[in-house]
Structure 1
């Protein structure tokens, strides 16, 4: 599964939350598809490819449990409000985005590496070596910068993995 974060506009946020409140996964999927198709490269999206999995594990308890870990680190990828039943579509409010952005700034490479090395889950599909960590760290730094931009713009964020 490939992961992407979007800093969404207010009208997109309202539409997604309305569909999510109704439990209408089909509408959430359609809205998300429209967001993906109309997106421009304006710095308000980040593609973490497959690294989202390791990033979430490092920021939580080593698993991909969306309820694992401690806020706000736990909300950088899978933590937050889930809007779809079949695949991750995770919503963070603008306030949560600011909290995540602030906390991600304090993550150092040595800390993330120690968390990466501690992943002990047979379901983790990465190589779990130096190259895999470099890939994870590169994606993490892009995610940090994305959250800073999203927070500065006052936007909510959607994470999806398909």
Structure 2
């Protein structure tokens, strides 16, 4: 599954929340399609994490993929937050939570992240857990950190998807 974060507009946020409140996965999927096609190329308010989102979440939480794992606000950088779809990852983080996540991510250094990466011990993790995998994960983490800084500065909520 490939991961993407979007710093969504207030209008997109209202529509997604209404669809999720109605428990309408089809409406959420349709809105997600619209968001994905909204012309984000080169935009600082979108970041692709390819498959690195998996390892990033594990490093920021307790080593697993549980959406309830870890401590706030780091737990909300990838899978924490409000689940908005039953069949795949569509996770919503409020603008206030995005500000908290942005601040917490700024505190993480290379050494801390490396320790957490080296501690991943889950047979379900599909990465190589080697030096190349770490550098790939670190580079994508740095992109996520920059993205959250931009989302927080714009006062936007965040939507993470992995499909």
Alignment correspondent of 2:17 = 17
Query: Aligned equivalents of 1:13 and 1:34: distance in 2?
Result: 12
Alignment correspondent of 2:36 = 36
Alignment of 1:98-117 (within 5 A): 98-117=99-118
Alignment of 1:45-124 (within 5 A): 45-124=46-125
- Cα distance per residue 1:46-65 (max 9 Å; x no partner): 00000000000000000000
Query: Aligned equivalents of 2:104 and 2:112: distance in 1?
Result: 13
Alignment correspondent of 1:6 = 6
Query: Aligned equivalents of 1:28 and 1:148: distance in 2?
Result: 26
Instruction: Give the CA RMSD over aligned residues.
Output: 0.5
Could you tell me how far 1:39 is from its partner in structure 2?
A: 2.7
- Cα distance per residue 1:5-26 (max 9 Å; x no partner): 0000000000000000111111
Could you tell me how far 1:40 is from its partner in structure 2?
A: 2.3
Q: Secondary structure of the residue that 1:7 maps to in structure 2?
A: strand
Q: Secondary structure of the residue that 1:136 maps to in structure 2?
A: helix
- Cα distance per residue 1:62-108 (max 9 Å; x no partner): 00000000000000000000000000100000000000000000000
Alignment correspondent of 1:148 = 149
Calculate the TM-score normalised by the size of structure 1. Answer: 0.99
Q: Secondary structure of the residue that 2:49 maps to in structure 1?
A: strand
Query: Aligned equivalents of 2:77 and 2:12: distance in 1?
Result: 20
Q: Secondary structure of the residue that 1:38 maps to in structure 2?
A: coil
Q: How many residues align?
A: 162
Could you tell me how far 1:111 is from its partner in structure 2?
A: 0.4
